[in-house]
């Protein structure tokens, strides 16, 4: 027996309608093409002429990666605080406040349950628009709770990452979130439930060096920056030019760190097929 059944009734049905973008058009950062917003949405936020994958907000991710209206959020009240009274050019407290106001979110991680081609999943998104998607205490706790939820409810787990790494303003506490989330994935692994890690542009530092690299299957979008150290840090250390395509998804596939690259168009369907394989016969 596998871990899911398609016959289950949808338990969650919450409206997560996407905000319609205010701008009428966007310029492709790769080829310079001017793309009408409608065309951009029709092509899943990829450039119709060069295939460039635009960065997504979490709402866009929910629409693209899960079945329509199937996503229900969990643990949404868990939010960032300033545990160390940290102050750089501005106090971390203020940074949190401003980011929370701007994004309407309490942390960089959105956790929930949803369906992917009819399959129930526990799914979470680490979102770049909230402080570079950095991993702090609140994010680590939500990831840990989501893993627990997957174990308790016998659901496959999917985490979609887009992050610059650990959150410096929480120093050692953010570093410990790497251990916490990775340890919890060990618990999930013991149950036989699958974990699929989806790596979007960019996934680096403490996030790639913890839960994002530990998927039973690691999937990347094309041309995403994925690595441990940032390219600038490496360049400063070794004092030589970096090879073309260094730390891009294709590089990671070539070096055996990512299972496959899936283009955004048809992503959900392919993800559903992989989940089906992981369910066995």
Partner 1 sequence: MAFNELAFEKPINELKEKLNELKNGKAATTTSGKAKIARYEKKLNILIETTYQKLTPWNIVKIARHPKRPHFKDYIKNLGKDFIELHGDRNFRDDPAMLGGFITIGTQKLMIVGQEKGRDTDDKIYRNFGMASPEGYRKALRLMKLAEKFKLPIVTFIDTPGAYPGIGAEERGQSEAIARNLREMMSLKVPTLSIIIGEGGSGGALGIGVTDEIQMLQYSIYSVISPEGCASILFRDAKNAEISAKALKLTSSDLLKLKVIDGIIEEPSGGAHNNPQYIYENVTGTIINVIKRLKKTGLSYLLKKRLKKYKNMGIYEK
Min separation Cβ 43 and Zn ion, Å:
10
266 binds, among partner 1, Zn ion, none (CB under 5 to 8 A by kind): none
DSSP-derived pairing of the beta strands 157-163 and 119-126: parallel
d(CA 129, CA 57): 7
List, as own/partner pairs, every contact residues 167-170 make where C-beta atoms lie below 8 angstroms and the sequence separation is at least 24, other chains included: 167/131, 167/134, 167/135, 167/136, 167/139, 168/134, 169/82, 169/84, 169/86, 169/88, 169/92, 169/95, 169/136, 170/83, 170/84, 170/86, 170/92, 170/136, 170/137
Residue where the block lists tokens 């692994």:
189
Among 77, 239, 280, 281, binds partner 1 (CB under 8 A): 77
Token output for 155: 């659901």
Using the minimum distance from each CB to Zn ion, give the nearer residue, 30 or 100: 30
Using the minimum distance from each CB to Zn ion, give the nearer residue, 29 or 189: 29
Segment near partner 1 (CB under 8 A); pick from 18-26, 120-128, 231-239, 272-280: 231-239
Residue window 164-183: x/- pattern of binding to partner 1, with contact defined by CB under 8 A: --xxxxxxxxxxxxxxx-xx
Q: Does 162 sit near partner 1 (CB under 8 A)? A: no
Binding to partner 1, residues 195-224 (CB under 8 A): 205-206, 208-214
Write the DSSP symbol of residue 49: T
CA distances from 196 to 228, 253, 267, 274 (A): 19, 16, 13, 9
Classify residue 154 as left (phi > 0), alpha (psi -120 to 50) or beta: left
Binding to partner 1, residues 243-262 (CB under 8 A): 243, 246-247, 251, 255-257
Q: Does 237 sit near partner 1 (CB under 8 A)? A: yes
Using the minimum distance from each CB to partner 1, give the nearer residue, 2 or 83: 83
Segment near partner 1 (CB under 8 A); pick from 30-38, 62-70, 119-127, 241-249: 241-249
> Using CB under 8 A as the criterion, which residues of the chain lie in contact with partner 1 when the complex forms?
77-81, 83-84, 86-89, 106-107, 136-138, 140-141, 144, 166-180, 182-187, 189, 205-206, 208-214, 226-229, 233-234, 237-238, 242-243, 246-247, 251, 255-257
């Amino acid at each position: 027996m596998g871990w899911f059944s398609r016959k289950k009734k949808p338990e969650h049905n919450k409206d997560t309608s996407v905000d319609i973008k205010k701008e009428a058009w966007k310029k492709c950062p790769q080829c310079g093409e001017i793309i009408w917003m409608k065309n951009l949405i029709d092509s899943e936020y990829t450039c119709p002429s060069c295939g460039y994958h635009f960065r997504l907000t979490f709402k866009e991710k929910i629409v693209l990666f899960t079945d329509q209206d199937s996503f229900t959020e969990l643990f949404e009240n868990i939010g960032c605080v300033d545990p160390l009274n940290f102050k750089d050019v501005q106090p971390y407290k203020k940074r949190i406040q401003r980011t929370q106001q701007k994004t309407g979110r309490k942390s960089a991680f959105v956790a929930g349950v949803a369906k992917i081609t009819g399959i129930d999943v526990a799914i979470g998104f680490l979102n770049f628009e909230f402080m570079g998607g950095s991993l702090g205490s609140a994010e680590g706790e939500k990831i840990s709770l989501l893993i627990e939820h997957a174990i308790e409810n016998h659901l496959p787990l999917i985490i979609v990452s887009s992050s610059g790494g650990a959150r410096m303003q929480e120093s050692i506490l953010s570093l410990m979130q790497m251990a916490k989330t990775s340890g919890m994935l060990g618990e999930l692994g013991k149950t036989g439930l699958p974990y699929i890690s989806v790596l979007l542009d960019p996934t680096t530092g403490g996030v790639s060096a913890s839960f994002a690299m530990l998927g039973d299957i690691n999937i990347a979008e094309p041309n995403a920056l994925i690595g441990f150290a940032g390219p600038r840090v490496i360049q400063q250390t070794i004092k030589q030019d970096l090879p073309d395509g260094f730390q891009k998804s294709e590089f990671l596939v070539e070096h055996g760190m990512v299972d496959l690259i899936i283009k955004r168009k048809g992503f959900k369907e392919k993800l559903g097929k992989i989940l089906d394989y992981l369910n066995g016969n």
